[in-house]
Amino acid sequence: MIPRLARRALSFGTRRKLTQYETTADRILAQESDCRRLSSGGLLDRVAELRRRVQAGSAIDGIKQEAFALAREAAWRALSEHPVPVQIIGALALHDGHLAEMKTGEGKTLTAALVCALNALTGRGVHVATPNDYLAERDAAWMRPFYDLLGLSTGVITQEMDDDSRREAYRCDITYGIASEFGFDYLRDNLKFSAAETVQRGHAFALVDEADATLIDEASMPLALFGPLGDHSGFYHAIDAEVASLQPSHYEIDHRRRVALTEAGYSEIELRLQQQRLLKASTTLHDIASISLLHHVMQSLRAHVMLARDRDYVVENGSVTIVDRLTGRPMPGRRYDEGLHQALEAKEGCAIGEETRTLASITFQTYFQRYAKLSGMTGTAKADTEEYRDIYGLDVISIPTHRPMIRVDETVLHSTAAGKFQAILRELEDAAARGQPVLIGVPSIERSEALAAMLEANGWRQQNAPAQNPGSSRTFSVLNAKHHAREAQIIAEAGAPGAVTIATAMAGRGTDIRLGGEHADALTRARVIAAGGLLVIGTTHHDHGRMDEQLRGRAGRQGDPGRSVIHASLQDEFLRTAAINAPPTLLTEQAATIAPSVATLLIEAAQKRHEMRSFDRRLGLLRFDTIIQRQRDNVFDLRQSIRDGSDTLMLVKRLRHETVDDLINRFATPTAPWDIAGLDHAIRSVLTLAIDIRPPSSDPKADAKVLTQLITAAADRWIDGKIASMGETMFIDILRRLMMALIDHLWSEQSERLDHLKRRIGDRGLPPHKVVAEFQLEAFALFERMIVDFRRDVTAYSMRVGILPS
């Protein structure tokens, strides 16, 4: 957290920036008449000239005023919209890599397009990330005529596209796409076998629209590529057999209903696993190399001790089906993750279901940190200022609205949920009498169904639903469509006279609610304005104040009239889960509503607590993820250098020599008697060589050195012979592919082990500040092992490559 003083300095800094941007914006606007005189060819020529200058090395900041002035003119010609001063200011802030807070309906799409056009002049590609496919396609299509006038190409990435179309879209000057697809393309590119197969061409500049959705709400949900994993059913059954026979003294259950092994339990299971050769003799489950084994043992223990048949799951037709805790209904098709479901199947003697393995994964946090320049925009950012700065290095700049905002915002805290509902009903009746459109915000789809049922019980009729109250003229629609495009359509009509729409705060985001309806005539619009504009009713506070703002922000766009009121109650889950208790005097009072001053205090305290919780959780995850990212970078870099590299022979040689060193260090240390038999066996199995090893003399260190040279020389001769017989090109080609495949395999295993480590590290009861340090240490140890495995496997393969079937 930043101290108050620093915070004030910061807001001073952003104020000063805003003033600078205003001055610059004035200069840009002053070029309007100049630009208007240009022919369309003239406009293109001027842009082409700017592009040449930037690509010849001119600073982009030196040309930005001219570029924005030309872009403004292009916007006017292509879209009949002249970017207003606040849009230019927003564009300048975005160009400087800030997070621009611009209210809903202020025209962020066009603002972003100005910045994209400017940055596209570098020729290095601009990525615009949106929260869904629908918005990516809409915005690209909407802005394309504008980019066309400037001679810039526009591409879109959507989920169903094949690699060729993706590559083409990435080759465009500006590429729109859903944020997750950008991340997935990055992961997939890192599994390709040649540079020509990759689709992305770098990470120069990303602009994230609706940044709070992508950079905050979904930030810690990893994007994961899955691939099928071989049949491991034997493994699950073997573990199950051992865990099944543990006694109650071997484990304990703590107050958080988590099961753990006792000391006796550890010794017992280790012994059994060693007997089954699942665990090497002389190693324990606490060894870093056993992290995945330990994970599966713990999952099996959970399956046996914590999950009960016919309570948590049922067994039908030889398969395990999870039972919903709340409703008691079986949920076919759902599976526990992380190997727990397989552990249950083993426990119940069912066939082990197909398994997939994470091939590679990344979070939005780490993906977007890859870009040389990042900026974002959203209607609501203020509450997340610290998170944007701490995690993404983005400063939040609040851009003033074009027209003054005249929306009225209220909050009413009721004592009971019933009182709250009555108040909402009254609001609806009032609005209906005036013909005022209403948008009702609910926290989840389930809650929208509950509210719909209550409205129906009070004489309202749901549109497009089995008729309840068929005669009623008071109708409402519920927005729970699964398709973004359909969602957008319903939201767009939420401003029609007398419309009542129930939706979640996030539904249809990015879609503007116009008073009167999407294509309303002036008369309809005037009617709605006379009725007070859009009325937004919140039915509870959200855990995060930003969501409340997002919902309220649906009304009062671009200076429209409007009102928002959140009806909350002391019985709301939001207050209960924050563990904020209303003072008992409040509850004994018979008042139907709580005094506004007390209500504000309660709600702010609860929101603060919810926000801190989720911020801490994300920060914790980010710390793990930063450590993982360093490994991922290393692995991907190595893979890329192999993919594009010219020094394959050198690399293979280095790996071979290091492998020999590894073997000598392991079996022929100066400090202990040499393990000659072990060394002989290793040389035979890894290097396919038979070397005459003499026992060490009085100087084992010197002897080890001589032995190293002997082995190395023999191995080198063997490889030289191979190269001579199969030809260098073929040898290199085979080894390059082999090394890449090996890296993918090892990294996928490593990712999984890191995941297991992330889960299991919490079980150790470490003080919080030690957890990350411990994770780092163990993650590094795992990484080193992976590297040793890599060079051993490459060496072993290369020594045998001649006998691989072609």
Which residues contact ligand ADP by CB under 6 A? 81-84, 87, 102, 104-110, 512
State the nearest-atom distance from the C-beta of 79 to ligand ADP, in Å.
7
C-alpha 625 chain-centroid distance: 11
**Is 510 one of the binding residues for Mg ion (CB under 5 A)?**
yes
> Binds 569, which of Mg ion, ligand ADP, none (CB < 5 to 8 A, cut-off by type)?
none
Nearer to Mg ion among residue 441 and residue 510 (C-beta): 510
> Binds 516, which of Mg ion, ligand ADP, none (CB < 5 to 8 A, cut-off by type)?
none
* Cβ within 8 Å of residue 736, ≥6 positions away: 642, 643, 645, 648
With tokens 């006694």, the residue in question is: 247
> Binds 106, which of Mg ion, ligand ADP, none (CB < 5 to 8 A, cut-off by type)?
ligand ADP
Helical (H) or strand (E) element with 585: helix 584-588
> Binds 83, which of Mg ion, ligand ADP, none (CB < 5 to 8 A, cut-off by type)?
ligand ADP
Task: Output the CA torsion 739→744→748→751 (10° steps).
Answer: 80
State the nearest-atom distance from the C-beta of 87 to ligand ADP, in Å.
6
State the nearest-atom distance from the C-beta of 210 to Mg ion, in Å.
7
Q: Does 512 show up as a binding residue in the annotation? A: yes
Q: By the 8 A CB rule, do 130 and 177 touch?
A: yes
* Alpha-carbon gap, residue 650 to 648, rounded angstroms: 5
Nearer to ligand ADP among residue 109 and residue 398 (C-beta): 109
Nearer to ligand ADP among residue 87 and residue 119 (C-beta): 87
**Is 138 one of the binding residues for Mg ion (CB under 5 A)?**
no
Candidates 106, 128, 127, 119; CA nearest to 150 is 119
Cβ-closest position to ligand ADP: 107
* Alpha-carbon gap, residue 161 to 147, rounded angstroms: 23
**Which sign, positive or negative, has the C-alpha torsion 601, 606, 611, 612?**
positive
> Binds 607, which of ligand ADP, Mg ion, none (CB < 5 to 8 A, cut-off by type)?
none
**Is 108 one of the binding residues for Mg ion (CB under 5 A)?**
yes
State the nearest-atom distance from the C-beta of 136 to Mg ion, in Å.
12
> Binds 81, which of Mg ion, ligand ADP, none (CB < 5 to 8 A, cut-off by type)?
ligand ADP
Candidates 540, 618, 558, 605; CA nearest to 579 is 605
Q: Does 31 show up as a binding residue in the annotation? A: no
* Cβ within 8 Å of residue 326, ≥6 positions away: none
C-alpha 296 chain-centroid distance: 26
Which span (504-512, 647-655, 657-665, 775-783) binds Mg ion, by CB under 5 A?
504-512
Backbone angles phi, psi at 136, to 5 degrees: -60, -45
Nearer to ligand ADP among residue 304 and residue 554 (C-beta): 554
* Cβ within 8 Å of residue 4, ≥6 positions away: none
Tokens of residue 666, six digits? 């392991």
Nearer to ligand ADP among residue 103 and residue 791 (C-beta): 103
State the nearest-atom distance from the C-beta of 377 to Mg ion, in Å.
8
Tokens of residue 83, six digits? 């970017």
State the nearest-atom distance from the C-beta of 107 to ligand ADP, in Å.
3
* Alpha-carbon gap, residue 36 to 39, rounded angstroms: 8
Q: Does 558 show up as a binding residue in the annotation? A: no
Candidates 554, 549, 586, 550; CA nearest to 570 is 586
In a 13 Å sphere around the CA of 634, the CA atoms on its Cβ side amount to 14
Nearer to ligand ADP among residue 401 and residue 411 (C-beta): 401
State the nearest-atom distance from the C-beta of 108 to Mg ion, in Å.
5
State the nearest-atom distance from the C-beta of 139 to ligand ADP, in Å.
8
Site track 369-398 with Mg ion (rule: CB under 5 A), x = hit: ------------------------------
Backbone angles phi, psi at 693, to 5 degrees: -100, 120
> Binds 381, which of Mg ion, ligand ADP, none (CB < 5 to 8 A, cut-off by type)?
none
Which span (106-114, 289-297, 628-636, 690-698) binds Mg ion, by CB under 5 A?
106-114
End-to-end CA distance of the chain: 60
Nearer to ligand ADP among residue 65 and residue 558 (C-beta): 558
Nearer to Mg ion among residue 183 and residue 553 (C-beta): 553
**Is 562 one of the binding residues for Mg ion (CB under 5 A)?**
no
> Binds 110, which of ligand ADP, Mg ion, none (CB < 5 to 8 A, cut-off by type)?
ligand ADP
Cβ-closest position to Mg ion: 510
State the nearest-atom distance from the C-beta of 386 to Mg ion, in Å.
24
State the nearest-atom distance from the C-beta of 106 to ligand ADP, in Å.
4
State the nearest-atom distance from the C-beta of 101 to Mg ion, in Å.
13
> Binds 477, which of ligand ADP, Mg ion, none (CB < 5 to 8 A, cut-off by type)?
none
Nearer to ligand ADP among residue 90 and residue 419 (C-beta): 90
> Binds 553, which of ligand ADP, Mg ion, none (CB < 5 to 8 A, cut-off by type)?
none
> Binds 384, which of ligand ADP, Mg ion, none (CB < 5 to 8 A, cut-off by type)?
none
Q: By the 8 A CB rule, do 747 and 635 touch?
A: yes
Burial class for 17, CB neighbours closer than 10 Å (0-12, 13-18, 19+): middle
Nearer to ligand ADP among residue 109 and residue 712 (C-beta): 109
With tokens 């994770």, the residue in question is: 775
Nearer to Mg ion among residue 108 and residue 546 (C-beta): 108
DSSP string, 302-349: HHHHT--BTTTEEEETTEEEEE-TTT--EETT---TTTHHHHHHHHTT
> Binds 107, which of ligand ADP, Mg ion, none (CB < 5 to 8 A, cut-off by type)?
ligand ADP
Nearer to ligand ADP among residue 211 and residue 323 (C-beta): 211
Q: Does 107 show up as a binding residue in the annotation? A: yes
State the nearest-atom distance from the C-beta of 24 to ligand ADP, in Å.
18
* Alpha-carbon gap, residue 301 to 260, rounded angstroms: 8
Alpha-carbon separation of residue 711 from 12, 100, 680, 785 (angstroms):
68, 63, 11, 23
Burial class for 464, CB neighbours closer than 10 Å (0-12, 13-18, 19+): exposed
SS3 category, 84: coil
> Binds 694, which of ligand ADP, Mg ion, none (CB < 5 to 8 A, cut-off by type)?
none
Nearer to Mg ion among residue 72 and residue 108 (C-beta): 108
Number of residues that bind Mg ion (CB under 5 A): 2
Which span (104-112, 143-151, 439-447, 653-661) binds Mg ion, by CB under 5 A?
104-112
Q: What are the helix (H) ranges across 128-176?
A: 133-149, 163-171
Q: Does 105 show up as a binding residue in the annotation? A: yes
Candidates 390, 347, 333; CA nearest to 246 is 347
State the nearest-atom distance from the C-beta of 565 to ligand ADP, in Å.
22
Tokens of residue 761, six digits? 């590290």
| Annotated binding-site ranges | 87, 105-109, 512
| Annotated binding-site ranges for ATP | 87, 105-109, 512
Instruction: Tell me which residues touch Mg ion (CB under 5 A).
Output: 108, 510
